[in-house]
Amino acid sequence: MVDEDYKADFPSEIIKEGKVQVLVPKLEAYGVAPSDYAPSKAPVFYNPVMEFNRDLTVLAFQAYQRMVNREISICDPFTSQGIRGVRFAAEIQGVKKVLISDINERAFKLAKHNVQINGLEKLVTVKHKDANCVLSCHASPKKRFDIVDIDPFGTPAPYLDSALRAIRNNGLLASTATDLAPLCGVHVKACIRKYGGRPLRAEYCHELAVRLLAGCTASLAAKHDIGIRVVFSHSSEHYIRVYAQIAYGAKKADESVKSLGYILHCFNCFHRETTHQPFGSVQCPECGSKMDYAGPLWLENIFDPNFCELMIKENKTVAFRNSTKIAKLLALTKDEASAPITYYVLDKLSGKLGLPSPSIQAFINALRHSGFQAVQTHFNTRGIRTDAPAQAMRKLLKEASGVR
C-alpha cells in the first residue's frame, strides 16, 4: 500500500529509469554555485550519470542469474533513494528477495516510498541501518545473499569484509570505487592504507585501480577461506567497478592468493612486466633504468569472455537509454578478456618520442601485421593491449611516422 502521508521535505521530482519511476531530489535546486556537486548537496544522494552503472549492473546480475539458473537474493546496503534495489526487483528475472538499506534517515524514507510506488513491497525490504551492520546480520550460512552490491561514497574497502561474509558460496560481489585519486596514484599512502597495495601513476592506472580493488578483495576473502574470480570490471567516468564471483574452500583461497603480485614499470621506455616474487631494486631489461612498481594487486583475469557474452545477450533484450554505449563497452571488454595485461596509450609513447600520434586502428593493424596480438581497451580510447614489447612499439611508431 502506498504511504499517502509521505511527502519529501526537499525539492523532488519523479524520474523514469529502466522500467521504474522513482521520486528523487530535484538537482537544479542544489547545484547552485558552479563548484557545487549537486548529487552530494541534495539531502538524499542521487546521480543521474550513474544510470549507466545501474544499467550494466542489471545486465550483470541477470547474466549471473542465468548462469546459476535459480532464484536469487540481492542486498543493496547503500541504496540512497532506492533506485538500484527497485530496479533489481522490477527488471531482473528470477529475483526472490531484495534487501535495501541506507544509514541516512531521509534516504531510508524515500527508498521506502519508491518501493511502494512501484508496488514492490513483497519483494523488497527496506532498512535504516549501517551497511556493515546489515551485512553482518546476514553472515550466517542460511541468511546469506546471492549478490551484494557495494556502492558507497568513495572507497568500498571498509565494507568488503562484511560483504564477503554475507555472500553464499558461488555468489557475486559487485563493488564500486570512486576514490580514483588514491587508486590511480595521486594519493599513494591513502591507496596503501585502504587497499593494501601501491598504485602507480602509469598510463594504465585505471586498470591498476581495478586490479588493486580486486587484489584487496582477494586478500580479505582469503582470511575466510574464500577464493574469488573476477567475471567483469570496467572503468567509466569517475569510478571503477569490479564484479567477483566467490567460492568457499581453502584451496580456492590459496589459488586466488597466488594470483596476487606486482607490475613493474619503466617510466623511461614504457617496458612493463609482472612478478609474483618479492623483489629489491629492479633494472629495466630494455633500457637499464630503475623500474617502479604497483601492488600487490590482482594479476589474473579481470573479464570473463563468457560472462561478457551473457551480458551482451541480455543487452539485446532491453531498451536502455545507454544500450548502444553498453554494447560498445561489452564488445571491447570481451576482446580484452584474452589480451595481455596492461595497455599502451599511443599519445603517451608518441609524445615521449616527439612523434605524431597515429590512428589507433591503423596502429592495431600494423601490430597485427608484425605478428603481435593487439586489441583496443575500454579503459582508454587511445589504449592498446598487445604482447608487443615497448621496443617494438617504439620501432613501429617511428615507422608509422616515416622516421627510421
Ligand X SMILES: C[S@@+](CC[C@H](N)C(=O)[O-])C[C@H]1O[C@@H](n2cnc3c(N)ncnc32)[C@H](O)[C@@H]1O
Applying CB under 6 A, which residues contact ligand X?
45-46, 50, 54, 77-80, 83-84, 102-104, 107, 130-131, 151-153
Q: CB nearer to Zn ion: give 108 or 293.
A: 293
Name the β-bridge partners of 150. Answer: 175
Cα–Cα distance measured from residue 222 to residue 8, given in angstroms and rounded to the nearest whole number: 44
Give the residues across from 376 on adjacent strands: 384
Closest by CA position to 223, among listed 243, 250, 246: 250
* Helices (H) then strands (E): counts for the chain: 15, 15
Closest to ligand X by CB, 77 or 199: 77
Q: Which does 104 bind (CB under 5 to 8 A by kind): ligand X, Zn ion, none?
A: ligand X
Q: Give which of ligand X, Zn ion, none residue 333 binds (C-beta under 5 to 8 Å, depending on kind).
A: none
Taking a C-beta distance cutoff of 8 angstroms, is the pair 101, 129 a contact?
yes
Residue 45 binding partner per list Zn ion, ligand X, none, with a CB distance cut-off of 5 to 8 Å that depends on partner kind:
ligand X
Which of ligand X, Zn ion, none binds 236 (CB below 5-8 Å, type-dependent)?
none
Q: Which DSSP symbol is given to 198?
A: B
The one among 55, 91, 203, 286 contacting Zn ion by CB under 5 A: 286
Task: Determine the Cα–Cα distance for residues 80 and 53; give it in Å rounded to an integer.
Answer: 15
| Residue keyed to cell 519508491 | 114
Query: How far is the first Cα of the chain from the last one, in angstroms, to the nearest whole number?
Result: 75
Helix (H, G, I), strand (E, B) or coil at 342: coil
269 binds, among Zn ion, ligand X, none (CB under 5 to 8 A by kind): Zn ion
Q: Among 83-91, 166-174, 253-261, 288-296, which window interacts with Zn ion (CB under 5 A)?
A: 288-296
From residue 34, alpha-carbon distances to 6, 28, 58 in Å are: 32, 12, 33
- How many angstroms separate the Cα of 32 from the Cα of each of 8, 35, 41, 337, 348? 20, 8, 10, 43, 37
Query: With respect to ligand X, which residue has the nearer C-beta, 153 or 279?
Result: 153
- Which of Zn ion, ligand X, none does residue 266 bind to, with CB < 5 to 8 Å depending on kind? Zn ion
CB of 296: closest distance to Zn ion in angstroms? Answer: 22
Instruction: Output the smallest distance, CB 141 to Zn ion, in A.
Output: 51
Is residue 219 within 8 A of residue 196, CB to CB? The reply is yes
Exactly one of 38, 287, 327, 392 binds Zn ion (CB under 5 A); that residue is: 287
Instruction: Describe the crossing of helices 51-68 and 323-336 by its angle, rounded to 10 degrees.
Output: 60
CA 166 to chain centre: 19
In the complex with Zn ion, the residue whose CB is nearer, 286 or 304, is 286
Closest separation in Å from C-beta 370 to ligand X:
45
The binder of 152, among Zn ion, ligand X, none, by C-beta within 5 to 8 A per type, is ligand X
Task: Report the nearest approach of ligand X to the CB of residue 371 (Å).
Answer: 45
Nearer to ligand X, 164 or 284 (CB): 164
Of 121 and 130, the one with the shorter C-beta distance to ligand X is 130
Q: Rounded to the nearest whole angstrom, what is the least distance from the CB of residue 159 to Zn ion in the complex? A: 39
Q: CA–CA separation, 360 vs 150, rounded Å?
A: 35
Residues listed for the chain? 404
Of residues 225 through 284, those in contact with Zn ion by CB under 5 A are 266, 268-269, 271, 284
Give the largest CA-CA distance in the chain.
Answer: 76
Contacting residues toward Zn ion, per CB under 5 A: 266, 268-269, 271, 284, 286-287, 289
